[in-house]
Chains A and B, each alone.
Chain A
Amino acid sequence: MTALAQELRGQGEETVLAVPGMHCAGCISSIERGLKGVAGIHSARANLSARQVTIAHDASLKARDLVVELDRIGFEAQPRKGPLKQSQSAVRPLLAPLAVAAFAALNVMLLSVSVWSGAEGSTRLMFHWISALIAVPAITYAGMPFFKSAWGAVRRGRTNMDVPISLGVIIATALSFYEVVVGGADAWFDGALMLLTFLLAGRVLDAMMRDRARTGVDALLSQAGQGAMVVADDGTLEWKKAEELLPGMIMRVAAGERLAADGTIIAGSTRFDQALLTGESAPVPGARDDAVLAGTLNLDAPVDVQVSAIGQDTTLAEIARLMEAAAQDRSKYVRIADRAARLYAPAVHSLAALTFAGWMIAGAGWYQSLVIAISVLIITCPCALGLAVPVAQVVASGALMRAGIMVKDGSALERLAKVDRALLDKTGTLTRGQPVPDPSLLDSLPSDAASVALSLASHSRHPISRALADALTARRCRAAELADVQERAGEGVFALWHGEQVALRRPETSNGIAVMLEIAGRPAWLIPFADRLRPDAGEALARLATMGVDASILSGDQRASVDNVARETGLPAQAEASPQDKQDLIVELQKAGHQVLMVGDGLNDGPALAMANSSIAPGSASDVGLQASDLVFIQQSLLALPRAVHTARATMRVVKQNFALAIGYNMFAVPLAIAGLVTPMIAALAMSMSSLVVVANSLRLARAARK
């Protein structure tokens, strides 16, 4: 930070806002320039990777004012939770070891090449000493991530890929150092450093992918909405964050807002959309003395709600408890690389021991037998094996990311590749989760009526009006000129059009959600709204079926509406399932030997998402859904599902090929090592060749997500 920024911070405050909609240079410049023109804002700096804006401003401006300013510029923003908390990056702690290992590997390799080309006597000794001076500290520092992980596994009586890696590196370094001290001919520093460099590069790539997916998901998480306008005793209104709410406080919840806490309605009546919480799509009416739940969306009119429960007592907390238990189950999954290491490490270590014994029996001295046994360990040190899994997964997650699917967890692709059973939530997963106006009725609407409807709808922030405005705009409809527009809460939008009364209002009676468009002197139009299937749902399900994944619907919604969707998609369905029911069904399927994929978005799906072998959520999911799932797809099309499963399976195929290639290299190199014929030069060549082959094979996955 420059001195100027510090000076600015001294005068005011710095606020970090999440801006999920920022994605290009134009966005950066309009945000930074737009904010700079606002009184009280000193500077604004956008971070495109993190989708954040850091704003230095006067203390008089509150985070909420800044959100309003950004909304005026045209971007939806949310204050980040906690003061200036930089998201924990997985890449950063690995970058410095990688830089050190690469620097040391290059310099030592330079010296090694001179030795291999015939440097002798005091020159060789000097080169070896310089190599040792560079390599020993570099290996100690850059190898730390592996040593730590290996030690952690060994201490608990387990083994992972880092154990053979650490052993190989440490033994190679120790032997080389001994050789240097006694003035021997061979030093293996270059091999050990090259191994570390390759492996660290693989891990950095892996961490970069996960960072990117995590920031993508972070940006989707609505960190706001977690608050409410609180009415004080003297009638003044104040915005309070969710964690500052206390039982007994009165929240004023406007139409289109989500409730921040459980409570009881004390004034007003409205309808609530509980889809996120229960999966139920039909709006639930709420009047005085009715209990309402945090996370539900107020649809119609402002209401006053007295907070009844916070923290541990809410429905939310109950769901969180179920999820925590489920997540612990899943963490027992053992990754394929570690399963390979369980077979590989004992095999390699006993081979080295046998080699030592063999040479002793054959009459070689202690020293020679030991050197040959160690060279077996070094040559089998799993450079290619260590790269086999991460590189394939990095390339595959990169391909998925470009296709709009974010992979949040390293082992997600492994688990996803195995699924043979899929459970799909209905609202928000199979369907879009938002009511959309009936397209056939919009088709029949005369163009002047449609433009009046668009104009009226655009004057309201009500979710139904917004959906109507979006649908009409998508049809290239133009807004009509209206006069005297006014929105009456709970009733609708009213205006004058060419001197005639026009209105977009809530119908007197209707089944489900609908709006009435009225133009004086003409018959009124009733526009029904319904939650529609996602585009390509049919094709996506058919593709899943051909991949051998049986799908069925598992929904918390009422039987009638679930049956409708079941008929449309041809899937078997279970309706009215509570979060606990969903979890139980998954456990039942798992006991029957199935690998279950859960696809869901709502709060009520959270426990099921955490319990299933693998889980996917749409980008529109609730925070809980986004956090509990392994993969998040951001486009509308449900084709993301077969695409993700296909890519995961292709990745596992490539991982297995990589293992075969790495083992093939060992078949060639190990006999040479056992025979005592391996020199440091052969080791370095073999190591880099096998790594290159594995990387090249993995790159074939770059196109995997296109099919």
Chain B
Amino acid sequence: MNVLAFLIPVALLLGLAGLGAFFWSMKSGQFDDLDGAANRILIDDEEDEDEERKE
């Protein structure tokens, strides 16, 4: 049973970390343009690599 005292906090922390990551990604605008993100992978970006680095 002692293992529980260790595992439960670990499970909760991991869950909280996931929750935190979700909040961070929402705040940083990653959910603003879902259609765009899906389409952008189709763009060839060999010419403007430096532009991509700026973003």
Contact = CB atoms under 8 A, between A and B. Distances in A.
Contacts of B15: 103, 106-107
A25 B40 CA distance: 6
Interface string B14-27: 01101100110010
A49 B39 contact: no
Contacts of A72: none
Looking at chain B's contact residues, the main secondary structure is helix
Contact of B33 (A29, A47, A106, A110): A47
A100 interface: yes
A43 B50 CA distance: 12
B33 A4 contact: no
A25 B35 CA distance: 10
A36 B48 contact: yes
A25 B39 contact: yes
B54 A43 contact: yes
A331 interface: no
Contacts of A43: 51, 54
A92 B16 CA distance: 20
A48 B1 contact: no
Nearest to B8: A130
B33 A50 contact: yes
Contact of A36 (B12, B16, B40, B51): B51
Interface in A82-134: 92, 95-96, 99-100, 103, 106-107, 110, 123, 126, 130, 134
Interface in A166-225: none
A95 B19 contact: no
A64 interface: no
Contact of A28 (B34, B39, B48, B55): B39
Contacts of B4: 123, 126
Contacts of A28: 36, 39-40, 43
Contact-size category for A: 20 to 34
A48 B39 contact: yes
Contact of B36 (A46, A100, A130): A46
A99 B8 contact: no
The winner among B12, B26, B39, B40 for most chain A CB atoms within 10 A is B39
Given A99-B19, A99-B23, A107 B34 contact: no
B42 interface: yes
Given A2-B54, A95-B31, A123-B1, A48 B26 contact: no
B11 interface: yes
A103 B1 CA distance: 25
B43 A29 contact: yes
B32 interface: yes
Given A24-B39, A107-B15, A49 B51 contact: no
B41 to A, nearest CB: 8
21 contacts: A2-B54, A25-B39, A25-B42, A28-B36, A28-B39, A29-B43, A32-B51, A33-B47, A45-B55, A48-B33, A49-B36, A50-B32, A96-B23, A103-B16, A103-B18, A103-B19, A107-B11, A110-B11, A123-B1, A123-B4, A130-B8
